[in-house]
Chain A
């Protein structure tokens, strides 16, 4: 048996420990209680790892979502006499619905609007709990029935410890599954910038919503455990301050790591318990003095250990990704007949105020050719590039791809048509390995839902996606680096990784923004060979470049831009002789 397989078996001993440890003779009841609250907090914090540490969003309302789960099961089991076990699905549905509502409103806006929305929602819902007769106003609900297994009520806190820690392990397990799936890679890709993710077909708004709802559902799950552990609920633990405490656990533990959530939950729960004992004695009065320590800790953590404690403890290496060489190849799309018009750019114009950055540019790209778009700095090449890829909207004119207008389409839809791109400023996800980054390129070629990812029903498809990523990496000559952190490669190689990622989309058209920048001479030659081979396989390439030597030997035709207008178009050799071009561009670098 190889090492990664062994590592995957961690839940088994963990489950055994969770089931048995609380029953250790002589274990003080105090430790069991602490373990219970740590476990509940850890589940919430694991959700925040996905949302904040990995998705780059944040919520100041997790305690309120926990409250929603707790109140749901409390009302159903106490007032309506339903089995506490039915409170779980009900609570999860209600927290998911609440989070979907709030999330859907804010995920399309800048990240901090979601956070601010959760503050408003957390304060608002807190006052709702405190004023609603159904949930007992400020007194809350007491006498919630305990969980029962085969007629035995779980009244002993050691029994609850077993249940809670099985819950923690399940939460950690499905979270790891999610992060290793197609949907999880999309969440992780948000950290590389939403433009890059969208360019490979990731629906960024929906992905952000997924992360938020997932975190909410875990909080709702924790709320269900909380209600049946405590057997009473009131509004106090569901307000804004407890929400910040969950965030603190995540930040201190290591916001991007699931074990960090456990570490943070344990530390904060322990310290909180000590402080509530110690500080009132110190100040000689009762009150929530621990907020001073927690607030200061949060600020200190962000300044001095923004990645939390876990990465300092564990030597973090990206996990090795085994490649199934026997995985079936993904279906490929048919390539258009060589020589037919593929991309038509018609009178494209973009103005910024009074500045005409792109002035009625027109050209046609034929299937199977490499077209170079060149020009001096500020000629409008990159703007043209952005207009074609849907990251910017033209003032006038349009772009047609295989006869269909694509001008107003979002980047995601353009990717779906088979147009892949690279970026002038490399946009790889620093927290992912090379091959994981490349696999994002194949996002649209997989279909597994997030739920399938959670439950590991996506393995066959995922193996095919990774096999494709490995194939494209091998094609680009970087398979040996597959498991290294993407941004640890030299910049030139990162550009090649971007090309491999773009190839994973199975593109008809490949748009490359200065791919040769930062490459050494030999690497440029290899890149040219790679691009020729890609062309030979039927892929059409549009190349924006500065490097004349690289372009001249490679392209079939050139379009030269200067000050936003097209200066010349034609075979490289002809354009090279054009006196206007020589004056505007070639002359200037001699």
Chain B
């Protein structure tokens, strides 16, 4: 291996690592606020990517009907869960969230899609279509279990992942998609040849991390989310609506997932079920980082990205094996360092 291959592998690893870092961050966030290990987040990567790819080709994405269906299911779930204590205002809000908002997005897409919108419009539209699905799913699947043990929430998340994969097949079909990059430019920096898309990915990842930091440090909503993460009951006692916090955390995760998909689909062909293994890499990073530390998750994500890129060079057949089993020594180290955990749930 010479230096140029080394550089190319490192560059690949960092670009992928940036995506995994975004996914890992939102996983840590969702876990902290809701205790859900959001296995289904990978689906948002695939759905975002496929929706974006369809829009750039002037097609109407199948995701629209999924959004509509989830909206109706969300309405039914909301009415059922709040039975007995609905007010006119709460029903209106529920209708706005589950019917009006999806309907508006669907209408906008139906108008814009045939016009073959520009890349930025297509990206924004894709985000608008995919992001609301995540809080809807929170309402349907997790809200009734808000006080259940972590394990039950994890099994629920796995069930959700299973259902979404099947729905992905229904709404997107089995074909693989690829989309045009945001920029075709190739930038030469010394021995490095940087494709424009790689720079976009890293720039957006950094910007998003800064935005998240600002959100949690400077806004009231961000602080409420942090408070919920530290102590749900305490947060509820001081008047923070923890259900709202869950919805926001899930929306952020959906947004980040869809954005990650839009960013990588110009680099690699994705199908309806590609999301799981991508999401799982985010997971590996989040777990290596300890499921509680944001900087830890970002660093671990870079490590996962680099491991993957070098593993694909040396032992490409066993790339996945190496990436996923990397978590095992980390768990061992954690177990030895922390000693026994007395979790009483």
Contacts and interface: CB of A to CB of B under 8 A. Distances in A.
Do chains A and B interact in one complex? yes
Interface of A: 52, 56-58, 60, 102, 105-106, 108-113, 115-117, 119-121, 123-125, 127-128, 131, 193-195, 198, 204-205, 240-241, 244, 247-248, 251, 283, 285, 287-299, 302-303, 306, 391, 410
Contacts of A292: 162-163, 166-167, 170
B277 A289 contact: no
Contacts of B342: 194-195, 198, 391
A241 B158 CA distance: 10
Contact of A124 (B165, B174, B321): B321
Given A288-B169, A295-B166, A302-B159, 10 more contacts: A58-B154, A60-B158, A105-B335, A106-B335, A109-B334, A117-B327, A119-B280, A127-B320, A291-B163, A295-B163
A12 to B, nearest CB: 36
A254 to B, nearest CB: 15
A58 B151 CA distance: 7
B335 A111 contact: no
B318 A289 contact: no
B317 A131 contact: yes
A128 B343 CA distance: 33
Interface of B: 37, 39, 140-141, 144-145, 148-152, 154-156, 158-167, 169-170, 173-174, 276-277, 280, 283-284, 287, 317-318, 320-321, 324-325, 327-328, 331-332, 334-335, 338-345
Contact of A58 (B155, B174, B287): B155
Contact of A194 (B37, B145, B158, B344): B344
A431 to B, nearest CB: 15
Contacts of B156: 298-299, 302
Contacts of B159: 244, 248, 294-299, 302
B169 A287 contact: yes
Contacts of A297: 159
B332 A105 contact: yes
Contacts of B340: 108, 204-205, 410
A563 to B, nearest CB: 24
B69 to A, nearest CB: 11
B331 A109 contact: yes
Given A105-B335, A292-B167, A116 B155 contact: no
Which one of A105, A285, A299 has the highest number of Cβ atoms from chain B below 10 Å of its Cβ? A299
Contacts of B164: 295
B155 A251 contact: yes
A127 B321 contact: yes
Given A116-B287, A121-B328, A109 B335 contact: yes
Contact of B320 (A123, A288, A298): A123
18 contacts: A56-B151, A106-B331, A110-B150, A112-B150, A115-B154, A120-B325, A120-B328, A121-B324, A121-B325, A121-B328, A131-B318, A194-B344, A240-B276, A291-B163, A295-B165, A302-B145, A302-B155, A306-B152
Contacts of B160: 295, 299
A123 B277 contact: yes
B339 A108 contact: yes
Contact of B162 (A110, A115, A298): A298
A304 to B, nearest CB: 9
Contacts of B332: 105
B318 A127 contact: yes
Enumerate the 6 nearest inter-chain pairs by beta-carbon distance, A residue then B residue, closest first.
A295-B163, A298-B159, A295-B162, A292-B166, A291-B166, A131-B317
Contact of A299 (B141, B154, B277, B343): B141
A210 B149 CA distance: 22
A119 B40 CA distance: 13
A302 B174 CA distance: 30
A108 B336 CA distance: 8
A195 B340 CA distance: 11
A228 to B, nearest CB: 27
Which one of A127, A244, A248 has the highest number of Cβ atoms from chain B below 10 Å of its Cβ? A127
